[in-house]
Amino acid sequence: MAQLSEGLRRKEFSSVELTSRLLERIEASQPKLNALISITREEALQSAQAADRALASGNATQLTGVPIVHKDIFCTQGIKTTCGSRMLENFVAPYDATVVAKLKSAGVVMLGKANMDEFAMGSSNENSYFGPVQNPWKTGSVPGGSSGGSAAVVAARLAPAATATDTGGSIRQPAALCGVTGLKPTYGRVSRYGMIAFASSLDQGGVIAATAEDAALVLRAIAGFDPKDSTSVERDVPDYVSSLNAPLAGLKIGLLKEFFDKGLDAEVERRIRDALTVYEKLGASLREVSLPNLPLSVPAYYVVAPAECSSNLARFDGVRFGHRCENPRDLMDLYKRSRGEGFGAEVKRRIMTGTYVLSAGYYDAYYLKAQKVRRLIADDFARAFSEVDVLMGPTTPTPAFQIGAKVSDPVTMYLNDIYTIGANLAGVPAMSLPCGFVDGLPVGLQIVAPQFGEARMLNVAHLYQRETDWHSRVPEAYA
Amino acid sequence: MKTWETVIGLEIHAQLSTQSKIFSGSATAYGAPPNAQADLVDLGYPGVLPVLNAVAVQMAVKFGLAIDARIARHSVFARKNYFYPDLPKGYQISQYELPVVGEGAIDIVLDDGAVKRIGVTRAHLEEDAGKSLHEGLPGVSGIDLNRAGTPLIEIVSQPDMRSAKEAVAYMKKVHTLVRYLEICDGNMQEGSFRCDANVSVREKGADKLGTRAEIKNLNSFRFVEKAINFEVARQIDLIESGGKVVQETRLYDPDKGETRSMRSKEEANDYRYFPDPDLLPLELTEEFISGIRASLPELPDAKAARFCSQYGLSSYDAGVLTASRELAAYYEEVAKLIQGESKLAANWVMGELAAALNKDGLEIADGKMSSARLAGLLKRISDKTISGKIAKEVFEAMWAEGSEADAVIESKGLRQITDTSAIERAIDEVMAKNPGQLAEYRAGKDKLFGFFVGQAMKATQGKANPAQLNELLKKKLAG
């Protein structure tokens, strides 16, 4: 992205040329990867032309004319926003999400909308109404989820970056499985306005890019307080790009004891240990730290997230927008059939779980208890960050699995989330960056930082990428 | 024969008179075309988020301070989840466990003049729902979301009222208070001020409360009284004929004058309340609260007490004159313009003026009779230019023509006759014309004195000073 930006400003190529070329790549990839739900060819070329004019007149930002793909969870004015669901198959958003609006005003060109697990619920992209996304590294393997489309787009170099969202790992896990760089910011760093809600207290918009530098460029454009989102935080946005090269000497890295536990693939662990050696060479020191309550994060997450989702998804009732069943007999029939037909199995499973944990007599035992656990986990992170600057570990316990391998076993799928959901429960920023391969499939190194520690985290990631080239590897078919 | 005691608690919903809605920027004006005042937030579109209106918070705090309630430094918005077509998000944002206004109290005056204190349990902020329209739409229902998101405070009383009359007195007092505070226009026809009544009966002397029925959406004082009286009679009949009251929600039908069952406890929704993750807890500072405290107007009870001491009014008169801020201000203007005649002013404001306003369906604030004009008339009573009786005639002319009292008195020649010789001439005339009655009077038929007063008044076209006339007549008749 940084290179493309340079090329555009040196007039090596125009935004229209770049956009056309990427649109062709996207169109060619669709039958194989299915990474996008919508391709916005016309709009893309129009904004590329506008970008070229801006570049010619000198009215350009660093991102003017650079193409991007938006996860189809972000509302885009006048363009279908499906959230991966039949419920919103024909929903045309009447407004732009803040993230979309900010990138638009920076001159970024939208190429299309990325495929995703329905309503961001899933970690394999198999829950999309629009069909699964293939992992560009190996057909038949999952790209991860829920931002599987965004990760595949970047891995196959269909766009230099894609927006994504992370509620329990939905940016980092697919970034790891696709060998790209994914960044989930601090909760409240990026506006949630216009991002279709799954679990409001955990959802956070972010970016998947090829490099930490590109992630910094995009984050700088989308971060900041938004008066339309009361949970966004009023706090200055640092220049994430200018601090990328700060030296790492003296950096204290905490290795999460719980992350190197049983369940972690031995080969994956080896790649992570190799990455840590690179950091030691850069002057960082390692020490083991423990987040004793982390094992409770999976049950806590699978109470809080479904609870919020059951309420957030109540608005999809067939009355004002979205799927409506044919010839409803009465109001109840309209509700039941519209929702029954519009939502897929995983979404229904979570709505039912969420409804159950909030119901009279169960609220204290589940929801309240989960909130208490959440506080304990946040305290664990705070304690760890009083000793170390960043935490590191694997993003996932194994590389990408086969499509269909875990569909019938949602609980195992949920358990894999233990590596990522702690950061969501605690609201801290986290990243995944490529650090090697196991049997031809990428492995992701996870970095977790204290709240609003994105600048340091990106700096830590960038210096690793200066020493290694895992992030520049591209699957052969897309080289 | 058992004697029964009625127990009533009210939940009053007062729409706050903010310019925009509680969580969106839409206008709140009444009577716009359906859905003209509903934006994407009010429509519950995917991705939109609520932003709290600070003015609504100020208004709720104002109310809390006015009833001497504890104001919560920390309160929380919660979602009340249920499906209904006029509830776009599938949940109402309300306050549940931690309301902004805690316990307070309101004093009402009973028929015998005694003061009774009614406890207020809490008052919380919430958003109103939209409206379902069925009239004029055969076979379908219309939804108007103009009202959706209008700010409300729900004021919940203790079950402290023992009759429909007390309930109405309490509701009227709250009505007066919210208008004094200028936080609600109090318009009951438009639904800006309405209540649900919880009604139960128990044997006199029993400790335990009887099973209650909740009568929903009463939007006039008359309906409150009628609905409660009907419901009390229904419950007593039911129990006395061996039945049992069941806990349920009932609706009052004003045409039939009866309540009927809407849904039973078993059919009641489980609202699955939980804190709204889209809104931060509401934190109020001491400065914020004390700023509002300093801005409170003189409240009705304090004003009434002052009227008693400052103007020497009875507590009844003071109560009537302080029923609204406008009326009280008007009275004070009049009283100040005619120093020393505050009782006269009270009688006229509550008597002739109130009757005339009522007849024409006007309010004081409409300005039909300025305080200066009324004071101008009362001055002429006070300085004996005209009698009280003639003053009524002058008032009528002033009301009809919009003229000043002095102009009417001059043009109609209504100046009171105080010239002794003129009055004596009239008396002589009357005595000469009625020799028979004169003889009877002198023979001891005292009752005829009134006859002579009437005749003499008539002879002066009512303009004779009544006191003077009496005195002179007594002398003359005695011979």
Pick one of 3.40.190.10, 1.10.3470.10, 3.40.50.300, 1.10.10.410 as the CATH number of B420-478.
1.10.10.410
The DSSP code sequence of B21-39 is: -SSSS-B--TTPSTTTT--
Closest Cβ–Cβ partner in B46, B49, B270 for A229: B49
Q: Which of A170, A232, A338, A432 is catalytic?
A: A170
Burial profile A152-167: b = 16 or more Cβ within 10 angstroms, e = fewer: bbbbbbbbbbbbbbbb
pLDDT on residue B411: 86
> Of B76, B97, B134, B272, which to mutate for an interface test with A (greatest number of A Cβ within 10 Å)?
B272
Please, are residues A168 and A132 in contact by the beta-carbon 8 Å criterion?
A: no
Q: Decide if A399 contacts A266 (C-beta within 8 A).
A: no
Which parts of chain A sit beneath pLDDT 50?
Answer: none
Choose, out of A308, A334, A372, A375, the residue to mutate when testing the contact with B (most B CBs < 10 Å): A308
Q: What is the pLDDT of residue B477?
A: 85
The residue ranges of chain B whose pLDDT is under 50 are none
ipTM of the complex: 0.95
Q: Pseudo-torsion of CA A81, A82, A88, A89, nearest 10°?
A: 110
Residues of chain B neighbouring A228 (CB-CB closer than 8 A): 49, 51
Instruction: Please list the residues that pair with B8 across neighbouring strands.
Output: B161, B199
The answer to whether the bond into A15 is cis (omega within 30° of 0) is: no
Q: How far is CA A41 from CA A18, A111, A130, A366, in A?
A: 12, 6, 19, 47
Cα–Cα distance measured from residue A108 to residue A64, given in angstroms and rounded to the nearest whole number = 5
Residue B126, H or E segment: strand B115-127
Q: Which residues of B touch A314 (CB under 8 A)?
A: 81, 83, 89-91
Task: Please give the angle made by the CA atoms of A420, A425 and A426, to the nearest 5 degrees.
Answer: 100
Q: Nearest Cβ partner of B274 from A307, A320, A331?
A: A307
Sequential DSSP letters for A404-426: TSSTT-HHHHHHTTHHHHHHHHH
The pair phi, psi for residue A466, each rounded to 5°, is: -70, -30
Domain positions in chain B? 4-291, 298-412, 420-478
In angstroms, rounded to a whole number, what is the distance separating the alpha carbons of residues A334 and A324?
7
- Judged by CB atoms closer than 8 Å, whether chains meet at B46 and A75 is answered as yes
Show me where the domains of chain A are located.
2-246+456-478
Supply the CATH classification number for the domain A2-246+456-478: 3.90.1300.10
CB B130 within 8 A of CB B87: yes
Which pLDDT belongs to residue B1? 65
Contacts of A193 (CB under 8 A, 6+ apart): A97, A98, A226, A228, A229, A232, B47, B48, B49
Active site residue A146: yes
Given a contact cutoff of 8 angstroms between Cβ atoms, the answer to whether A448 and A430 are in contact is: yes
For B167-181, the pLDDT digits (tens) are 999 999 999 999 999
Give the C-alpha distances (Å, rounded to integers) separating B186 from A101, B17, B126, B411: 42, 9, 17, 43
Q: Report residue A197: phi and psi, to 5°.
A: -75, 135
A471: exposed, middle or buried (Cβ count in 10 Å: 0-12, 13-18, 19+)? buried
pLDDT, residue B135, reads 77
Give the orientation angle of helix B371-382 with respect to helix B388-401, to 10 degrees.
160
Tokens standing for A423? 């950061």
Catalytic, out of A38, A47, A71, A310 = A71
Chain A residues whose CB is inside 8 A of the B46 CB are 75, 81, 83, 88, 91, 93, 196-197, 315-316, 321-322
| B81/A307 CB distance under 8 A | no
Computed from CA positions of residues A292, A295, A298, A300, in that sequence, does the dihedral angle turn out positive or negative? negative
**Whole-number Å distance between alpha carbons of A455 and A467:** 19
Q: Look at residue A81 in the predicted model and tell me its pLDDT.
A: 98
Alpha carbons B152 and B9: distance in angstroms, whole number: 19
Compute CA distances A457 → A433, A454, B44, B161, B396, whole Å. Answer: 11, 5, 36, 63, 84
Residue B315: CB atoms within 10 Å = 14
Q: Return phi, psi of residue B30, to 5°.
A: -85, 145
Q: Which residues of A fall within a CB distance of 8 Å from B45? A: 93-95, 315, 320-321
